[in-house]
Amino acid sequence: MQRRTLIKSSLAAASALLLGSALTPLPVAAQGNWPAGKAITYLVPFPPGGNTDTLARVVAQPLGQALGTPVVIDNKGGAGGSVGSAIAARAPADGYTILGGTISSHAINVSLYPKLDYDPVKSFTPIAMLGSGPLVLVVPAASPYKTLAEVLAASKAKAAAGGLSSASPGSGTSNHMALELLAYQTGVKFTHVPYKGSGPAVQDVIGGQVDMMFDTALVVGPHIQSGKLRPIAVTSSKRVESLPDVPTIAEAGEKGFDMGSWQAVFAPAGTPKPIVDRLHAEIMKIVATPEVQARLKAFGMVPSTMTPAELATFQKAEVAKWAQVIKAAGIKAE
């Protein structure tokens, strides 16, 4: 009887142990040989045709080849990158969702919008910085303005009507913030005209429906080369290699003006470190190739070599910086 009771007790204990093991989830990295042939979603929180979308497409194909699985672009635009970023923040932290984060979605929006459905720092794990670059202030080819001084003077003259109009791919984007920073530093009024992406915005500037806009060399460069747009100045402290004859805003008279628009890759918070490290390593290999280096530089961007930890530190500093600028300028989301 005692022996039979002992056997039953041992079997019950073993069953409980096995059941407990079955109910306790294994770490994501241990649940399979990631990526195990499953497609990875590269979520772009802006419409097709803009900077983040273009860079995602530069990275996605070679990244998929390196990992042996498809990397599929999914555009979820809206609210300066906030809509798509919130979707990514809610995604499982299993390595099958990555996000194209920007200065807007991951540094500016948290101070611009009264409520976000994600925290730009706490909701994500940094993977890789792709690069950063200045924005270019452009006007239509038919515009009478050829210098920053002329742009400022014209906007002052039209102050009663709101000043010159300036397009952007959305409220809270770096393009919008460049305009607001210029207005804040110069005391000149402008009218911000937000669009759903850089594509439609640049077309209306070319067509003369809007007076000007700030955007990257990636977006406006081809239109400058074709003669449809005229470059006025760049927002960085140094000139852009692809536009050597275009002065910086500081050189044009507004000393201290310095702003760069950066592009990075993030994953949902909690993504296992081995997966983050693999993604970082593969993306950095792609960024380091001569072809991608040349493309980034042609876009007016400086390629980055930041580690995930360095990107995390940089991002936190950017959040703090733009919080000060937004508060001082009294900027609010439209």
Helices 51-67, 290-298: crossing angle, 10 deg rounding: 170
CATH topology identical between 39-132+261-329 and 135-234: yes
On the question of pLDDT at 29 being above 60, the answer is: no
Q: Which amino acid is at 97?
A: T
Of the pLDDT bands very low, low, confident and very high (cuts 50, 70, 90), residue 5 is very low
In the structure encoding, which two tokens stand for residue 95, read together?
A: 């390595």
Q: Contact at 8 Å (CB) between 60 and 42?
A: yes
Q: What is the 3-state composition of the chain as percent helix, strand, coil, each rounded to the nearest 5?
A: 45, 20, 35
* Residues 261, 41: Cα–Cα separation, whole Å: 24
What fold does the segment set 39-132+261-329 form as a domain? D-Maltodextrin-Binding Protein; domain 2 (3.40.190)
| pLDDT per residue as tens digits for the range 252-276 | 999 989 888 899 999 999 999 999 9
Of the pLDDT bands very low, low, confident and very high (cuts 50, 70, 90), residue 16 is very low
Cα 307 from chain centroid (whole Å): 17
What fold does the segment set 135-234 form as a domain? D-Maltodextrin-Binding Protein; domain 2 (3.40.190)
| pLDDT per residue as tens digits for the range 171-227 | 777 888 899 889 988 999 999 999 988 899 999 999 999 999 999 887 899 999 999
Of the pLDDT bands very low, low, confident and very high (cuts 50, 70, 90), residue 111 is very high
Q: What is the three-class DSSP state of 315?
A: helix
Of the pLDDT bands very low, low, confident and very high (cuts 50, 70, 90), residue 32 is low
Q: What confidence score (pLDDT) does residue 22 get?
A: 39
Q: Domain coordinates of the chain in residue numbers?
A: 39-132+261-329, 135-234
Question: Is the C-alpha dihedral spanning 50, 53, 59, 62 positive or negative?
Answer: negative
